Amino acid sequence: MINVPRGTQDLLPEETEKWQYVEEKFKALCRTYNYQEIRTPIFEHTELFQRGVGDTTDIVQKEMYTFNDRGDRSLTLRPEGTASVVRAFVQHKLFGNPTQPTKLFYIGPMFRYERPQQGRMRQFVQFGVEALGSADPAIDAEVMALAMNIYEGLGLKSLKLVLNSLGDNESRTNHRDALMKHFEPHKEELCNDCQVRLDKNPLRILDCKKDKDHEAMKTAPSILEYLNDYSQNYFEQVKDYLDQMGIEYVIDKNLVRGLDYYNHTAFEIMSNASGFGAITTLSGGGRYNGLVEDLGGPETPGIGFALSVERLLMALDAEGVALPLDNSLDCYVIAMGDNAEKKAVELVYTLRKAGIQVDKDYQGKKFKAQFKTADRLNAKYVLILGEEELANNVVNVKDMATGEQKQIRIADIETTLEKLVTGGTN
């Protein structure tokens, strides 16, 4: 027997119903916020992520599915969506569109070679949005509002929006110098990764799981003390807009995020639900002014976020939220006798063309067993067609909720059922 690769999963129909439901909700929400869908390839040139996500990140250093294709080009299964969206924005000159900012959303699988555990997969699906072309703090607040809306709209309550500012380049450089000075005397005590980070990207030390209890972590200089006036003011405005919308948040000066492209706003949404598990981050995002230029485009600010559907569904489970899934079938046709069987095939086809959900038996089951199937499929109506009915050009329609049964002329069945399933009366 061959099973799925580690860190991946099959989604069977019972699960895909939930996925379809949350996907539709996300798409509808994006329409409400006026974000439009973009679809980019599952694999890209490896260089895109090296430059976009950043050479010193865990993602690029140890988590990418990178391979050479038959033409000896290095390609990588996308570990995230932002770099690809920005590449497409530059490649197709979307910055030239008269309507800016360019507001895009995406849904799709991402790939990271991580140690699998609950909520951490090697293939996972992200919902994400990116708004390119505006440095207005109101759009930072908009992206966070959208992110909170998707969770709240699905019925989650135990949520925490965690916010930080990483400042602009000047603030970051000053903070970086301070971090280097702070950690240098402790270099030998830090883990191997952090020793490298100290020279290359000391901010990432603050995010280290191994060194998180080191004394020097507690006294590390905070970026918030190094924000210059512009960055400070920007951060204040973002918070003001969140306050204005009544969106609660907490500031975490150690929130640094795992990708290199961030500046100014950085945020994560966590689940507080007991039983959610060890990983509590539901989604993350932030501002990435500079990324468009890094990928060859004109100076363009950007902000976005992404969540994974796997963790979203885990949070729904942890909070005991049942999605209002409609797993009923409009109609099940039961035929008895060879001629009725033939007519049933035609009837099913006619009804399906009218947009009514219909199914019938294909197992040669007896009447009773067919009825059971109809019941199991949550059929709202059962159509019964025997030789006698056929001879009279009628069909029996049973309302499964009330048990009521009526004879309807075959010629009228389409209109009758249309009325019934759309909630009208016959």
Joined together, the tokens standing for residue 148 give 């909170």
Our CB check for ligand HAM shows the closer of 289 and 308 to be 308
Query: Is position 306 an interface residue for ligand HAM (rule: CB under 6 A)?
Result: yes
Least distance between ligand HAM and beta carbon 359 (Å): 35
Rounded CA Rg of the chain: 28
Q: Is 281 in the site for ligand HAM (CB under 6 A)?
A: yes
Task: Give the contacts of 29 (CB within 8 A, at least 6 positions apart).
Answer: 146, 149, 150, 153
State the minimum distance, in angstroms, from the CB of residue 141 to ligand HAM. 15
CB of 68 vs ligand HAM, minimal distance in Å = 24
124 near ligand HAM (CB under 6 A): yes
Listed residue (380, 376, 387) closest to 344, CA to CA = 387
Q: Does 360 bind ligand HAM (CB under 6 A)?
A: no
Q: Give the distance, in angstroms, between the CA of residue 388 and the centroid of all CA atoms in the same chain.
A: 53
Q: Which is nearer to ligand HAM, 241 or 288 (CB)?
A: 288
Which of 266, 13, 283 shows the shortest CA–CA distance to 150? Answer: 283
Q: Is 317 in the site for ligand HAM (CB under 6 A)?
A: no
Which C-beta is closer to ligand HAM: that of 282 or that of 420? 282
Long-range contacts of 16-25 (CB under 8 A, 24+ apart): 17/325, 17/327, 18/313, 18/323, 18/325, 19/125, 19/309, 19/313, 21/323, 21/325, 22/154, 22/309, 22/312, 22/313, 22/323, 23/107, 23/127, 23/309, 25/150, 25/153, 25/154
**What is the phi/psi pair of residue 256, to 5°?**
-115, -20
d(CA 61, CA 310): 24
Residue 112 as a binder of ligand HAM (CB under 6 A): the answer is yes
81 binds ligand HAM (CB under 6 A): yes
Helix (H, G, I), strand (E, B) or coil at 115: coil
Among residues 76, 82, 84, 165, which is the contact residue for ligand HAM, using CB under 6 A?
A: 82
Which span sits near ligand HAM by CB under 6 A: 22-30, 115-123, 198-206, 349-357? Answer: 115-123
Residue 352 found at the interface with ligand HAM (CB under 6 A): no
Q: Which stretch binds ligand HAM (CB under 6 A): 40-48, 126-134, 153-161, 223-231?
A: 126-134
Give the footprint of ligand HAM on this chain (CB under 6 A). Answer: 80-82, 112, 114, 119-121, 124, 126, 128, 130, 258-259, 281-286, 304-308, 310-311
